[in-house]
Amino acid sequence: MTSDGILNLDKPRGPTSHDMVARVRRLTGVRRVGHAGTLDPLATGVLLICIGRATRVSEYLMAGQKVYRARARLGVTTDTYDAEGQVVAEAAVEASRAQVEAALSQFRGRIAQLPPMYSAVKRKGTPLYRLARQGISVEREPRQVEIFRLELTEWAPPECTLEMTCSRGTYVRSLAHDLGQTLGCGAHLTGLTRLASGDFLLEEAVTLEEFAQAAAEHCWPDLLRPLDSALAHFPALHLDADSVRRLCQGQAIANGERRGGGLSRVYGPDGIFLALAAYDAEAKVWRPRKVFRQF
């Protein structure tokens, strides 16, 4: 069994993503553990935990699309844009389902989104949430995000449930807040579940209790996805023994089939994943981008 891989964890409500990393570290005894995409304490669902050498592919996991189910409470605005914050305004909810549907249309596609003050975005090296806790509000730069799909799946005023597919960096709390502002009554997020992160789905996720049980039985590596599953969107490059040995030693290689250029997953003749390589179109060679094991 290998201790390098990706744990698709079903995060419970309450703990932070950092808490989950610390818990996995204690259960496994592996020091090199990180997560790929923060979930707020309020949120549940898919949290990808990278263990061992899989921490080196976290950037590719974070780049994937995310799918969320969000519940918003209209008529109440909070300072954090979610149920964890203090109420700052209340208003009557007079919006109809049709009006909510119409308001949602302006949030589809590429939009500029203002990060909330209670976020980990840094200003001059200081996270915004630390400033917010001191009662300090600063100007923030809007960020371009993309909402590929946004649907109203349940309407039970003053609450509504949304499902969305979005790019990395999207703040669902901000979307709930902005929806309330558009409707003129305010709103905040009361529940959030990440249904998918890239190809990792909630129905395939492992609960913390299941992982703890597997750790007690010393079989927790069986629950990990291989680290090359984070790179499945890149084509595979199969090399002979000599070529893969030279590539893993940091050398460029001229042999090997080019498939669309860019990055490729590199496998040796035994089918074992070894590295990520980049094609240099000018020199017509493959160069190692990341080597995960020697051949």
Q: Which residues pair with 263 in a beta bridge?
A: 278
| Radius of gyration (C-alpha) of the chain in whole angstroms | 22
Catalytic residues: 40
Return the exposure string of 65-83: e unless at least 16 CB atoms fall within 10 Å of the residue's CB, then b: bbbbbbbbbbbbbbbbbbb
239-246: Cβ within 8 A, 24+ apart: 239/266, 239/267, 239/268, 239/269, 240/269, 241/268, 241/269, 241/295, 244/268, 244/269, 244/274, 244/275, 244/295, 245/295
Cα separation values, 64 from 69, 84, 168, 233, Å: 17, 27, 7, 10
Query: Where is 172: in which H helix or E strand?
Result: helix 172-183
Task: Give me the residue label for tokens 């042999």.
Answer: 255
What is the C-alpha end-to-end distance of the chain, expressed in Å?
Answer: 18
